[in-house]
Chains A and B, each alone.
Chain A
Amino acid sequence: MNTNSNVYTIVYTTIIVVIAAAILAIAAMALKPKQDANIKAETISQMLTAAGFSSKEDLAKLGNDQILKMYSDNIKTAFLIDAKGNKIGELETETGNIELQDNLKQENKNIAAGDPQLPVYVFEKDGDEINVIPIYGAGLWGPIWGYIAFNADCSRIVGAYFDHESETPGLGAKIKDEAWFREQFKGERVNFSKPNDPFDIVKGGAPKGDKNDSEVDAITGATMTCNGLDAALDTWFEAYMPFLEKKAGVTGADKGDCCGGDSCCGEGAEGCEKDCNHEHNHNHQEG
């Protein structure tokens, strides 16, 4: 047969491509459940690391089932909040059908559009609540994301874990690899008085041991990744701000009086809350 004729060439390549596509489709379908389980366990182990239940290295040695069980054993509740910090839905936390809001890329878009459904995972450790929230943003080469754990009243960060898709190994990848970078976040607070820029990763050294300045040290040689992480933290902390403020009991009183302390801006004070929001906006304009 003449293998150089046009018809033969076209028919031959078509058949080869169809066969290759079929093989890949079958493989992808067969392996999908296993891959999804891996991704879910990975997400949960990042949360558990941030919340301080275990270290990422130890969790990597556990099977997926053990990680899921550890999650169910320690979680108290998980729910979704809207842009105003109000609860709008629950997430299942029982082993076997754990639900996660892990499409952070989509939520990042929703935050920009002003209509997010943000997850809050509430763990219980030694009798205290730990609130874990995700962050997501753009690094130098690809997406970066992470989980930040707050104490019961969200006044202090108790842990953090970051991950990335394709940051430079040895430079940007240090946000994940270097424990000292994550350790810095412990004890830091979110700056409620600057809702647009509540947290900073600074070049040239944040004052060591100062846990009230909402600043941590950047990584040498990873400026772009750190800038991306800084922006991601700011965007997501801002989106969570109403929720964090409610938890922390931060009211107008702390930011220039609005309507007289804790009692009014708490839950159930609908009318007054509007006043608070109004005052907040007013403050922004001044700031």
Chain B
Amino acid sequence: MNEDLKKTLLNPIFKGNPITVLVLGICSSLAVTVQLKGALVMALSVIIVTGLSSLVVSLLRNSIPNRVRIIVQLVVVAMMVILVDQVLKAYAYSIDKQLSVYIGLIITNCIVMGRIEAFALGNKPIPSLLDGLANGAGYGIILIIVAFFRELLGSGTLLGFRVLPESYVPNNLVILPPMALILLGCIVWVQRSIQKDLQEK
């Protein structure tokens, strides 16, 4: 694999993470991280949507009229999101119920449109696909880390299995969205102390 592709694939996972560095997609990462299982499915859905939308838009990039490009992108993204939602309804009904509106709201997730505008419109299909997948993965990793702590401390379980003893009193603050924001803040803190060049002077 050549250097550029490698960079495209690895950069969004840590160094240019869409949530902690670009600060995109905060809303859904606060909402769907109460349980690990929901976060995993959400992460997978976003990876599929970002990857395929970037691929399709990149294939169309030379033909899209510049004045309506956002609308065309939106049509592509919305189509992908509805497809994912329909497939989940057919094959993973209980999880779809749990995620409810948030699957539909992937359409408004800034990561998808952000990567299409910033990358897919100016690059060939394969790098665009990888960029989309990698950004989805970068989003997913943060989601899973936050959900891990929230489910562990908020319910005492992981993936529905009891991990902490029955005597542990679930912390209700962790269940509520503000705690997700605080956890997210902690992750940004940890990342910036490791990666000194991100620190503002």
Binding site secondary structure of chain A: helix
Rank and list the top 10 A-B pairs by shortest CB-CB distance, nearest first: A38-B93, A34-B90, A31-B90, A9-B65, A170-B175, A20-B79, A35-B89, A3-B65, A35-B90, A31-B86
- Contact A24 B64, CB 8 Å, known A38-B89, A60-B94, A170-B175: no
Q: Which of B66-74, B113-121, B136-144, B183-191 contacts A (4 or more CB under 8 A)?
A: B66-74
Residues of A within 8 A of B60 (CB): 16
Q: Is A253 an interface residue (CB 8 A)?
A: no
- Contact A16 B75, CB 8 Å, known A3-B63, A3-B66, A8-B65: yes
| Contact between A27 and B86, CB atoms less than 8 A apart | yes
- Contact A170 B34, CB 8 Å, known A13-B71, A16-B75, A23-B83: yes
| Contact between B90 and A3, CB atoms less than 8 A apart | no
| Contact between A20 and B94, CB atoms less than 8 A apart | no
B interface list, Cβ under 8 A from A:
31, 34, 60, 63-68, 71-72, 75-76, 78-79, 82-83, 86-87, 89-91, 93-94, 97, 100-101, 172, 175-176
Cα separation A149 to B78 with both chains bound (whole Å): 41
Q: Is A245 an interface residue (CB 8 A)?
A: no
A interface list, Cβ under 8 A from B:
3-4, 8-9, 12-13, 16-17, 20, 23-24, 27-28, 31, 34-35, 38-39, 42, 60, 165-166, 169-170
Closest to A176 in B: B97
Would you give 24 A-B contacts (Cβ < 8 Å), ordered by A?
Answer: A8-B65, A9-B68, A12-B63, A12-B64, A13-B68, A16-B60, A20-B75, A20-B76, A23-B79, A23-B83, A27-B82, A27-B86, A27-B87, A31-B86, A34-B90, A34-B91, A35-B89, A35-B90, A35-B93, A38-B93, A39-B93, A42-B97, A169-B31, A170-B176
Cα separation A60 to B97 with both chains bound (whole Å): 12
Cα separation A60 to B78 with both chains bound (whole Å): 30
- Contact A165 B100, CB 8 Å, known A4-B67, A12-B64: yes
Residues of A within 8 A of B76 (CB): 16, 20
- Contact A13 B72, CB 8 Å, known A34-B90, A35-B89, A169-B34: yes
Cα separation A42 to B176 with both chains bound (whole Å): 28
Other A-B contacts than A13-B65, A24-B79, 4 sampled, CB-CB below 8 A, are: A31-B86, A35-B90, A169-B175, A170-B176
| Contact between B79 and A3, CB atoms less than 8 A apart | no
The smallest C-beta distance from B168 to any residue of chain A, in angstroms, reads 17
Cα separation A60 to B31 with both chains bound (whole Å): 23
The smallest C-beta distance from B28 to any residue of chain A, in angstroms, reads 13
The smallest C-beta distance from A178 to any residue of chain B, in angstroms, reads 12
Give the one of B65, B67, B72, B176 with max A CB within 10 A: B65
Residues of B within 8 A of A35 (CB): 86, 89-90, 93
Cα separation A38 to B63 with both chains bound (whole Å): 41
| Contact between B89 and A31, CB atoms less than 8 A apart | yes
